[in-house]
Amino acid sequence: MKFEFAVGPDFNLLTAFAESFKVPVFKHSLNIPASMGKGFIKFIEVETGCKLALHHYTLKQTFHLRRLPSAAPGDLVSIVFNSNEVPTDSGTDRENALQFLKANGSAIQVSSSSLGTETLFAKNAEVYFAVIGIKASLLASMLNIERQHSLLQKIFNNSGSFFFHENMSADAKNILKQLSTMNEQDELSRLYYKIKVQELLYGLFRKLLARGRSQHSIINKSDVEKLYTIRTAVLADLSMPPKLKDLAKMAGMSETKMKQLFKQVFGDTIYNYYQRARMEEAAFLLRQAGYSVSETGYHLGFANLSHFSRLFENHFGLTPKKYATTG
Question: What value does the mean pLDDT take over residues 2-7?
Answer: 83
57 pLDDT higher than 90: yes
Rounded-to-integer distance, Cα 193 and Cα 186, Å: 11
125 pLDDT higher than 80: yes
At 207, which amino acid appears? K
Residue 150: predicted pLDDT: 82
Residue 89: predicted pLDDT: 45
- Average pLDDT of every residue of the chain: 87
Residue 1: predicted pLDDT: 87
3-state secondary structure of 201: helix
Query: Is residue 236 a contact partner of residue 102, using CB atoms and an 8 Å limit?
Result: yes
Query: Is residue 127 a contact partner of residue 83, using CB atoms and an 8 Å limit?
Result: yes
Rounded-to-integer distance, Cα 134 and Cα 169, Å: 21
Helices within the chain (DSSP H only): 13-21, 94-104, 136-143, 150-157, 170-180, 189-209, 221-236, 244-251, 255-266, 270-287, 293-299, 305-316, 320-325
Residue 114: predicted pLDDT: 80
Residue 98: predicted pLDDT: 52
In this prediction the pTM is 0.85
Instruction: Characterize 133-145 residue by residue with b for buried, 16 or more Cβ atoms within 10 angstroms of its Cβ, and e for exposed.
Output: bbbbebbbebeee
pLDDT: which is higher, 157 or 308: 308
Cα torsion 159, 160, 161, 165 to 10°: value is -40
Q: Quickly state the pLDDT bin for 151 (edges 50, 70, 90).
A: confident
At 272, which amino acid appears? N
- Over residues 197-241, the pLDDT tens digits come to 999 999 999 999 988 777 788 888 899 999 999 998 998 889 999
Residue 231: predicted pLDDT: 92
Residues 6 or more apart in contact with residue 34 via CB below 8 angstroms: none
Residue 115: predicted pLDDT: 83
User: Packing angle between helix 136-143 and helix 150-157, nearest 10 degrees?
Assistant: 140
124: left (phi over 0), alpha (psi -120 to 50) or beta: left
Rounded-to-integer distance, Cα 197 and Cα 130, Å: 10
Q: Quickly state the pLDDT bin for 176 (edges 50, 70, 90).
A: very high
Residues 6 or more apart in contact with residue 123 via CB below 8 angstroms: 59, 60, 61, 62, 63
3-state secondary structure of 199: helix
H/E segment holding residue 126: strand 126-135
Rounded-to-integer distance, Cα 66 and Cα 99, Å: 21
Residue 215 CB burial class (10 angstroms; 0-12, 13-18, ≥19): exposed
- Over residues 108-120, the pLDDT tens digits come to 999 988 887 888 8
- Over residues 67-81, the pLDDT tens digits come to 887 766 668 899 999
Residue 103: predicted pLDDT: 53
Rounded-to-integer distance, Cα 270 and Cα 25, Å: 44
Question: What value does the mean pLDDT take over residues 272-298?
Answer: 91
3-state secondary structure of 106: coil
Question: What value does the mean pLDDT take over residues 165-184?
Answer: 90
